[in-house]
Amino acid sequence: MLERTEILIPVGGFLTPTEPVHPLVEGPWQDCLGDLAQGRRVLLVGERRVVDAHDLEVDIILAGGERQKSLEAATQLARDLVVSGIDRNHLLVAIGGGATTDLVGFVASVTLRGIPWLPIPTTTLAMVDASIGGKTAVNLPEGKNLVGSFHQPEGVIVDRRLLTSLPHARRMEGLIELVKTALCHGALGEKVLAAGSVEELEALLFHGAQVKLDLVSRDPLDKGPRQALNLGHTVGHALEALFMPRLSHGEAVAIGLVPVLRMGLGDGAQPWLEALQRVGLPLKPPNEVDRDQLLAFMQRDKKGGKMVVPRPGYSVELWSDAEAILEYIESEAFVDTPPTIA
């Protein structure tokens, strides 16, 4: 019998925060950055793909991608910042995908015991999830995001123009996080389920980002209701660690959402599975998944192997006992992919 711990989420949505963690603004990043910098010196760190695609001038260029999220890369970036003369009167700005904002945010949190920073996400995944909330981290060989800190940014700038150079598959990844967020927010959930196309889902990205920011404002250190946003990530992070770079983060989370949807919602999971299908990412893990390795990565996850499971009424629960969860996954969740939508 799985042990369950309820996390209460208001059925009608999140409460309006009285003390926002940081501003979330939408528009041309050059204009917005001037307002958020408030006269401070700006040091811009850019991901190479974005710098080349948009002909940007930056102070430091990073390779980008999940493989750069290492202690070695963090050390090198910290050294580059110190050599550049950075101090606490600077605003460190990261322009790139979620891996880049994770790395830069982590380095900002430890260099000089904390430098103000601000992400400008350039992927749908980073816009709706990775850059919002102050979670910063690097990976270890033993798992994802195992060395990190909470370091809230000064703000987040969402500039949709930066998505124009993004490959189609990577644009789809952020929509998985949008569906995940919608599972615990009634108003957004209804819009996501009603969306009949990828374009209609993409139109909801900023709404999804606002929902996450509202939740983070209520639980900035991830000790309570914010844990709802870990839906799909216990299995997803384990699969991502096992198959990197073959599986991207969005693909791994998409696969990880399938078992928790079926576990928590039963027949009610079908509309959500169809929403995942509209995004078009794989919903079944590679055939060569090693059971023992997957279980080991799940147990090393920051949630201690517990899995966040959606429940009716836009609420969630924590289910423990990773072994029993794994048995469920093996026996039911990935036997067949959801039926194809015409």
Which of 328, 218, 335, 173 is CA-nearest to residue 263? Answer: 328
Question: Tell me: the pLDDT tens digits for 318-338?
Answer: 887 666 666 766 665 554 554
CA 22 from centre of chain: 17
Residue 146's H or E segment, with its range, is: strand 143-150
* Residue 334 three-state SS: coil
Cβ atoms < 10 Å from Cβ of 29: 23
Domains of the chain, start order = 4-15+168-333 (1.20.1090.10), 28-158 (3.40.50.1970)
Task: List residues bridging with 95 in a β-sheet.
Answer: 46, 120
pLDDT tens per residue across span 285-311: 887 777 788 878 887 775 655 788 899
Question: Which residues are within 8 A (CB) of 120 and not within 5 positions of it... i.e. 6 or more apart?
Answer: 29, 33, 93, 94, 95, 96, 156, 157, 159, 162
CA distance 119 to 129: 12
Residue 321 pLDDT: 65
73-82, 207-216, 217-226: the lowest-pLDDT one: 217-226
pLDDT tens-place string over residues 264-286: 898 899 999 999 988 888 888 88
